[in-house]
Amino acid sequence: MSVVKAFFVGDHTDGPNWGGRAQSLALASLLRERFVISGSVPGSRVVGGGPIVHTLYPHAIGESVFYRRKQAVWLNWLARLQDIFGARDFVSGDPAESAETILKYSGRFEALGALRRQVEEADVVVLNGEGSGIFGTPYRRDLFFYLAMAELGLRLERPVFFVNTIFSDSPRTGRNLESLARAEAVLSRCTDVHVRDPYSLRYAGETMPSIRCRHVPDALFTWFDRVQDPRLRPPEVGDFAVPYPEEEWRWFGRLDFSRPYVCVGGSSRAAEEPRRAQLSFRKMVDAMDALGLPVVLVETCRGDAFLRDVVAETGAAFVPRNCPIWMGTAILTNARLLVSGRFHPTILASLGGTPSIFLEAHSHKMRSLQESLGYEDEPVFSTFPDDAEVGRIVARSRQMLDAAEVLRPRVLAAARQRAEEAGRTASILWKSLSPVEVPRVPTESSRSAP
């Protein structure tokens, strides 16, 4: 009997980001309960090196000029000259135009041809929207790559699912109405749209009423049962957590997981102003000495690289972003407290009951996560706290540490409930398919265990 093949768009399992890796692994595992993943593409992070059409120079040179134009004035002049002759990225702010470009140039550029072939070889297209659905200015390239792939799937008559996504305005630039309208034009034709948080569901209902949208918690919550294994603990000698190629003496000898510790991570908002974040986090880490517990800085994403400078200035312990994902999970779930503006690392921490202090991000995601995890009337602190707010962060941290016996079971209970809801993802997608769309069912042998 035939199986139903899914093309997985937005697979970040090979990326330098704990959240992207973990969430992609979790979502892929859920999909395999009902589908066979016939192919995957990581999204704009890799495809971002993909075709620039109408280059003035030989294509390899022209593409390099296009993407490196900000590195030097002379490169920008060369790029602007290309622009005059029509050079452009295959991803634009119009998903219909992008899909047309893929179809038109799929025979000329291997990267575009591969995208088209993988859609044609699949029965359904599943897009992992993750944290990309922010309608700011300028438009987000990763979001519009996903929308382009959705449009391509629709034109090639494949059912399209847009799942595990956020929808939000940008706190910095406000709402991009043109991007929002173009997204709705695509999403309204998808078979199903799943948002990962309650704020996004309300946002979709208010701004894109024509789409079929439901709230299904983030796929990463489904790691809950795995995390309950008592063997999932970091090594007491923390040097074992330092990954290749970070095996340098400057990181050794700092990590000690044999005693209680507090984790501090970055945020997407901090990544936008790393120098300012470095100064703020240095003050915060210094002030947290008053808690009497060692502070471990966790670089869960490339955008948190500023934490390396904080380590150099404070001498705090440090876990690099290349840390194996299960090691990172063990570190977060066994911490006494996490201070972070990162969505998925905070979910990972919650799976072990670790309470969190929430820092602001570049969307509503941390406030919405508070609602999902049952944090009532809990503040979201500034990523760039002044001295007064640093004091409030430390005071709230002390209160949470003192209330651990009450807080940890509460966080665990909320995470368990979200895990049960997220675990229905594949069944929901399967039931959304009509017999006319995909008249096939997977065999038992085709199903892969998570």
Q: What is the pLDDT of residue 2?
A: 66
Verify that 327 and 344 share a domain, yes or no: yes
Tokens 């300028």 correspond to 138
Q: What is the pLDDT of residue 47?
A: 54
Verify that 238 and 300 share a domain, yes or no: yes
Q: Check pLDDT > 70 for residue 288.
A: yes
> SS3 for 100?
helix
- Separation CA 333–CA 340 (nearest Å): 14
Q: What is the pLDDT of residue 3?
A: 84
- Separation CA 245–CA 386 (nearest Å): 35
Q: Which residues contact 189 (CB under 8 A, 6 or more apart)?
A: 154, 160
Residue 309: domain span = 227-419
- Separation CA 237–CA 285 (nearest Å): 22
Q: Check pLDDT > 70 for residue 435.
A: no
Which amino acid is located at 41 in the chain? V
Q: Which residues contact 395 (CB under 8 A, 6 or more apart)?
A: none
Verify that 349 and 256 share a domain, yes or no: yes
> Is the distance from CB of 356 to CB of 407 less than 8 angstroms?
no
- Overall average pLDDT of the 93-116 stretch: 94
Verify that 140 and 285 share a domain, yes or no: no
Which amino acid is located at 310 in the chain? V
Summarised one tens digit per residue, pLDDT across range 129-144 is: 999 999 999 999 999 9
- Say if 232 falls within a structural domain: yes
Q: Check pLDDT > 60 for residue 111.
A: yes
CATH of the domain at 337: 3.40.50.2000
Verify that 14 and 161 share a domain, yes or no: yes
Verify that 33 and 155 share a domain, yes or no: yes
Verify that 201 and 265 share a domain, yes or no: no
pLDDT tier, 122 (very low <50, low <70, confident <90, very high otherwise) = very high
CATH of the domain at 135: 3.40.50
- Say if 445 falls within a structural domain: no
Q: What is the pTM of this model?
A: 0.91
**What one-character DSSP code corresponds to residue 329?**
H
Q: What is the pLDDT of residue 446?
A: 34
Sign of the torsion formed by the C-alpha atoms of 317, 384, 338 and 133:
negative
- Overall average pLDDT of the 7-18 stretch: 91
Q: Which of 303, 312, 238 is nearest to 266 (CA)?
A: 303
Copy the structure tokens of residue 299. 């670089």
CB atoms within 10 A of CB 159: 22
**Percent of the chain clearing pLDDT 70 (strictly above):** 94
Q: Check pLDDT > 90 for residue 199.
A: yes
- Overall average pLDDT of the 211-237 stretch: 95
Verify that 162 and 122 share a domain, yes or no: yes
Q: Check pLDDT > 60 for residue 17.
A: yes
Verify that 334 and 349 share a domain, yes or no: yes
Q: Which residues contact 401 (CB under 8 A, 6 or more apart)?
A: 262, 291, 293, 336, 337
Overall number of domains in the chain: 2
- Say if 206 falls within a structural domain: yes
- Separation CA 385–CA 402 (nearest Å): 23
Verify that 143 and 110 share a domain, yes or no: yes
Q: What is the pLDDT of residue 439?
A: 42
DSSP string, 349-418: HHTTT--EEEE--SSSHHHHHHHHTT-TT--EE-SS--HHHHHHHHHHHHHHHHTHHHHHHHHHHHHHHH
Helix axes 95-105 and 110-121, enclosed angle (nearest 10): 100
Verify that 193 and 288 share a domain, yes or no: no
